[in-house]
Amino acid sequence: MKFKKFIRAIKSGDTDKASPNTKQVTGAEIEETIELLKKNTTQINDVIFKKIPTNEGIVTMVYSNSLVEKMTMQVMVLIPLANHLNQIHQISEKIDPADKTEIISKLMGGQTLLYFHDANLLLSIDTYSASTRAITNTETESTVIGPQDAFTESLQVNISLVKRRIKNPMLKNENRIIGTESNTEISLLYVEDIVNKENLEILKKRLDKVNYPSFPDVSILKQLIEDNPLSPFPQYYMSVRPDSIVHYILDGRIVVLMDNSQAAIVCPTSFMDMFISVEDYYNRWTTATLLRMLRFFGFFLTIMITPMYVSALTFHPEILPYELLLNLQESRSKVPFPPLIEVLFIELIIEVLREAGSRMPAKVGQTIGIVGGIVIGTAAVEAGLISNILIVLVATSALLSFLPPIFLMSNTSRFVRYIFILSAGLFGLFGQMLALAWLLAHLLNLSSLGTPFMTPVIPRKAGDLLDGIIRFPTAFLKGRSGISRSQKK
Amino acid sequence: MNVDKRKQLNGYHVVFLIQNIMIGTGMLSLPQDLSSMGYSLALYPLLFGVVASLNLWPMIWICSQYKNENIFGINEKLLGKWIGKSFNLFIVVHLTFFIAGIIDDYMNLIQTTALPEQSTTIPILFFLVVAIYIVNGGIKSIARFCMMAFFLTLPLLYFLRWAIEKGDLSHLLPLFNFNKSEAFEAFRKGYLSILGYELIMVYFPYIANQKKAYKHALIGVWISIILCFVVTTVSVMYYSEWQLEHVTYSVLHLFKAGELTYIERIDIIGITIWVFLVLTTITGYLWCAKKGIDSFRSKKKISHVYVITIAIYIILSMPFSKEVKEKIFEAAFQTSYLMLCWPIFLIVVHLLRKKQVQS
Amino acid sequence: MNKKLILLILTIICLAGCADKELKVPLEDVGLLGILAFDYIDEDSYKLSAAMPQFLPEAKENTQIFSVTTDFVSKGIVEIETVSDKKVVLNQLRVVVFNEEFARNGDVQKVIRHLYRNAEVGNKVLVAIVKENGEEILKESYPDKPSINLYLNDLLQPSINTAFMPNTNIHDFVYTQTNPVFDTIVPLLEKQEGKIEIDGVALFKKDNMIEELLPREGLIIQALLGEKNLAPLNLTLDKGEEKEELMIDLIKNKVKMKSNKSIESPKLFINLKMEGTLIEYKGYREDELTTLASITKLEKDIDEQIEKDIEELLEDLKELKVDPVGLTENFRMYYKGNWDREMTEKIISKLEVDIKVTTRINSTGTLD
């Protein structure tokens, strides 16, 4: 809040004394600006005002202590001030004291302001040097083959990770500030002669409309610029792997990077993209095809297996083979709940296990995994709470739900599964098929940046089929996908 | 995204709209409807195909005279505002009953096979909610759903395998073993099963390439006809004449012949997947009925869909006796023949009033 | 728009609450009948026995047998439910058994049609006739079999050595009953000490059983029907000096029929091609069977013998005026107009058959 007031104060000052840039700057004007800055930063304790005597008279130095490292300060500002003043003039930038919004944003961005009292000069030097994490390998999207580096939380580092992979002057990164309170920097990356201009236009319009206070992570921005925010499905691809992001940039998509956020989002994205991992391109095409099929059909299986159990046991015992049915009857004979409750019960326990496992410190987590496994695997069956066949099905579907390379998708599949379980509990297979019809209709209605989400299914381009569920040999994959509607084919 | 918001249906959309709206519950009982022909019914769908192709022509012709009007608009233009509007209202009411009839038919089937000992009121409600969801996406959404439904249900053909293995091809002979009255009876009962292509008169203004619409529509019609032909042929091979006549939903029993070791009853899976085919039919008709109300009230509103759906729900949950219901739906089905002949009448009016309308 | 949607969902949830009244019976409370047996009492009533598996490990008997006297199937089921602790359903019905008396005098057709119409019942329900008493077959103990349900079902499944018997399910039964060119054949079972034996084939005329066929005759019928997998063929050649006995494992079987299309003087050409291995031989030619020439001669003898057998069988069928093979289909195919049962009988009684059998012996085993 303070900050907002501060900006408002400066802005009001701005309107009072609007002065054109060309006007000769007077010392009084700068003096006034510094005073205003001082007044407004009384509670911002890391902003430091210092008067230093130099060869060119007294210099007032203003900087934010927490964004500038001592070492940088020393090398960039203090030593040159004392010894090589002309070096300061070389690396610094002259600023207009009337433009108060810019001054404050520079200060908050880690720059150092220098006011030369004698020369009536206001300069800024980029000394931003907040410490960042080193580039490490990813733990959330690790692959066996392929580059192991991952994005970090620094926008500069992330952009550099992309740019060192695409050495092309057409690769643009447009930075802009977003977030009414946090003033977070984001960057749009695209290759100018490939990207679809219309897509870029839509995305920019949406970003302009975003009115949200702060962005701890890019996934928040993602939800705000999606076509259908109410849908359970993620409509943009999200990854922390530079190689996968680069693949999409060159395909003609637009990538949004955000400062302080590890992941990048890719717009637009199709449903099929959610099941594609970059590793598929590193693998041989046969292996990649097999894995893609597993992931794609695994998604539909994971939402179908346990509902199938519910509907077969409550409504259609005749579809099961006789021997299996007798087994089921035997194992269910001790279970006090109807199948629907039984399935919901065990599904929820699995969710609890998963959630507990991910929240707990790693060392405790392992124990919980074993305890949970034993408790659910054997004890629950022996206690007669659930049937042992259900355990197998639930475990399978839980494993299947982790197949999609995008974690958001696997979360979605878990949520959608509950819809299917409930509808199976209501009307059996008929309910399941109705739910499937709803799901497909929903997916068909979804769009990502105005392009149909189910693009390879509703083929925009026959070439998409080469890189769909079946990954053709690499020589066939020169073309760009239909969803990016790229300028170059 | 499209430059012209109205022209949103491409060739594929038209093919599958036509094809999938045609196939609904009718196909399930097609062999029984045609059973007066005996074993010769196998070839009958081909005749339907020819009739449908001929019947499509006047529809497309009259629509292509008024490129931006659907059948309701044409009615108003040609017959004058009042006669046109009242006839449009009649069509909407007809469509409403027609939809109710189809749902009733399918739900009865679901009740006997998949949901025994359960009332169908709640399943119908859920079914209608899904239908509304699809219709709200517009005609393009329906068209896409049709495509999806086609490819999702196509594998069902594989389940006919066992029926073909067991069946006897010699049943097809002698080829034309029927007389006129039998053929007429079969035509009267069976032609209703392939209705659905007449809806092109409503979504014609949305077709991007109207010049090729007839060609695309024909492809759609003939895909359906071939599917019907496959079904009738396999039925003839598998059943005796008595069974053809007495087994209701013979297609269901064809699935029953399946022998898989891990799924005992393919028919239940088949019949529940059929919901996709019924949904496409229902949503197509529902959308058209909505367009009817739109033009009747001269404004577009989403609430029109809800009005029709509620009407359908009320019709279905009315405590009529089964016989009365059956009669009402039969009447609604028979009225469809009027819809089929209507464009011919419109063409006559068009030719007579040509100058008046155009000026 | 969103408010409307929420309203809609709320109504649905409320309505779903109403649906709860129709409680479904969970699987473990359902008694899945596996076998139904019908025993003849008199024209109006029969004894219905049903086998229901018991899955609880505590139960001493793994199958519970119920018997009631009734005149309707569904009435009988309801009556069974009154003595059972479970809801009795027919969803997993596998075998229907009639005793011979029922098959000869009762209305088999009515019972089968009831099951055929019932959507609960699948098409895989096998039909069989049992000599004497159906209830006893269910009640007999089979010490080396897990349960009668599985035993009877597995027994009636086609296997290579019982391929002489027709694998008739309820669809086949209704199909052959209602198709004028066919007469129904059903496997015939006989109870023995601790086991059940497939004894032969029951031949139906119209609605009732009239005759019992031997496995051999059953095999010929199956061969004429064009069945691919046939049981090993046992032949006795008594032409020539000495009796010979041999066994052929049939690998391939192909039948072609051609009629002269005439209703007045029907004539049928049957061309049967068989291929197989000679697995056993007993007779005077034992040492000669190493050369091709002698095998060819043997093939010819076999052809003649099979031809004779078929002719004899067809002669019998002609006398009975029944057509389990569907020979008359070859005439119906070319007849315009309605074909009915009388036509079939007319044709079959006048039918002249020209049979040509070609047997090929592929090998005589690895020993010379």
- Which chain B residues touch A316 with a CB distance below 8 Å? 114, 265, 268
Chains that touch A (3 or more CB pairs under 8 A): B, C
Do the beta carbons of residue B63 and residue B71 sit within 8 Å?
Answer: yes
Of C12, C178, C336, the CB nearest to B242: C178
Cβ atoms of A441 and A266 within 8 Å: the answer is no
| Closest by CA position to B231, among listed B55, B32, B47, B56 | B32
pLDDT, average across residues C251-256: 85
Closest CB to A332: pick one of C28, C32, C94.
C28
Closest Cα of chain C to B303: distance in Å? 10
The alpha-carbon gap from A297 to the nearest alpha carbon of chain C, in Å, equals 29
Residue B350, domain member (yes or no): yes
From chain C, the residues in CB contact with A315 under 8 A are: 24
Out of A285-299, B31-45, C273-287, least confident range: C273-287
First-residue to last-residue Cα distance in chain A: 50
Contact C236, C322 (CB under 8 A): no
Contact assessment for residue A263 and residue A376, using Cβ atoms and an 8 Å cutoff: no
Higher pLDDT, A130 or C187: C187
Chain C contact for A335 (CB, 8 A cutoff): yes
A13, pLDDT greater than 50: no
Q: Is A218 within 8 Å of chain C by CB? A: no
Chain B residue numbers touching C335 (CB-CB < 8 A): 174
CB count within 10 Å of CB C270 equals 21
Task: Let me know if A277 is exposed, middle or buried by CB neighbors in 10 A (0-12, 13-18, 19+).
Answer: buried
pLDDT score of C13: 57
Cα–Cα distance between B290 and B137 in angstroms, integer?
13
- Please indicate whether, in this complex, the C-beta atoms of C53 and A326 are within 8 angstroms of each other: yes
| Residues in chain B closer than 8 A to C174 (CB atoms) | 240, 243
Cβ contact B24:B278 at 8 Å: yes
pLDDT at residue number C4: 57
| Residue C94 at interface with chain A, using a CB cutoff of 8 Å | yes
Of residues B35, B18, B3, the one with CA closest to residue B241: B35
Question: A230, A320, A322: best mutation site toward chain C, by most C Cβ within 10 Å?
Answer: A322
Is A330's CB within 8 Å of C26's CB?
no
B265 Cβ under 8 Å from any chain A Cβ: yes
The first and second tokens of residue B260, run together, are 């898989």
pLDDT score of B294 more than 80: yes
Across the interface, whether the CB atoms of A430 and B123 are under 8 A apart is answered: yes
Mean pLDDT of B250-263: 82
Burial class from Cβ neighbours inside 10 Å (0-12, 13-18, 19+) for residue C25 reads middle
Contact (CB<8Å) A322/C153: yes
What ipTM was predicted for this assembly? 0.92
Q: Cβ contacts (< 8 Å) between A313 and chain C: which residues?
A: 26-27
pLDDT recorded at residue B80: 84
pLDDT of residue C365: 64
The reply to whether residue C34 touches residue A330, judged by beta carbons under 8 angstroms, is no
Q: What is the pLDDT of residues C62-111, one digit of tens each?
A: 888 888 898 888 888 888 888 888 888 888 888 999 988 888 888 888 88
CATH number of the domain residue B318 falls in: 1.20.1740.10
A49-105 per-position pLDDT tens digit: 888 888 888 888 888 888 888 888 888 888 888 888 888 888 888 888 778 788 888
Candidate from A430, A437, A451 with C-beta closest to B115: A430
CATH code: domain C214-368 is: 3.30.300.210
Chain A CB within 8 Å of residue C153 CB: yes
What is the residue extent of each domain of chain C? 26-213, 214-368
- Residues A164-180 pLDDT 10s: 999 989 999 999 988 88
Give the residue on C whose Cα is nearest the Cα of B237: C175
CA closest to B258 among chain A residues: A319
pLDDT in tens, C133-149: 888 888 888 888 888 88
pLDDT band with cut points at 50, 70 and 90 for residue A19: very low
> Rounded to an integer, what distance in angstroms lies between the CA atom of residue C231 and that of residue C282?
19
How many domains is chain B partitioned into structurally? 1
Q: Which residues of A touch C32 (CB under 8 A)?
A: 317, 322, 325, 329
Instruction: Please name the residues in contact with B235: beta carbons below 8 A apart, sequence gap of 6 or more.
Output: B31, B42, B163, B244, B250, B251, B254
Q: Which of A431-445, B70-84, B289-303, C311-325 has the highest mean pLDDT?
A: A431-445
Give the pLDDT confidence of C291-302 residue by residue, as tens digits: 778 888 888 888
Is B284 inside any structural domain?
yes
What average pLDDT does chain B have? 87
Is B264 in contact with A445 (Cβ distance < 8 A)? Answer: no
The 8-class DSSP code of residue C143 comes to: T
List of chains touching C (3+ CB pairs within 8 A): A, B
Q: What is the pLDDT, as a whole number, of residue B50?
A: 93
Q: What is the mean pLDDT of residues B332-336?
A: 86
Orientation of helix C108-117 relative to helix C170-178, angle to 10°:
120
Closest CA to A268 of A467, A416, A480, A470: A480
Per-residue model confidence as pLDDT tens digits over A372-386: 777 777 788 788 888
Burial of A415 (0-12, 13-18, 19+ CB in 10 A): exposed
Answer whether residue B110 shows pLDDT above 70: yes
Name which of A207, A211, A156 is nearest A181 in CA terms.
A211
- Does some domain include residue B4? no
Residue C20 has pLDDT above 60, yes or no: no
Distance CA C292, CA C296 (A): 6
C363's CB contacts (< 8 A; 6+ apart) are C277, C278
Q: Which has more pLDDT, C339 or B231?
A: B231
Q: Do B272 and A442 touch (CB under 8 A)?
A: no
Neighbouring-strand partners of residue B348? none
A313 touches chain C (CB under 8 A): yes
Mutate to test the interface with C, among B242, B305, B306 (most CBs of C within 10 A): B242
Phi-psi region of A391 (alpha: psi -120 to 50; beta: other; left: phi over 0): alpha
Residue B5 within any structural domain of the chain: no
Residue B6 within any structural domain of the chain? no
User: What is the distance between the alpha carbons of residues C160 and C227, in angstroms, rounded to a whole number?
Assistant: 11
The whole domain housing B83 covers 11-358
E-strand spans in chain C? 30-32, 35-40, 46-53, 63-70, 87-89, 95-99, 126-130, 185-192, 195-205, 208-213, 233-237, 244-259, 267-282, 352-363
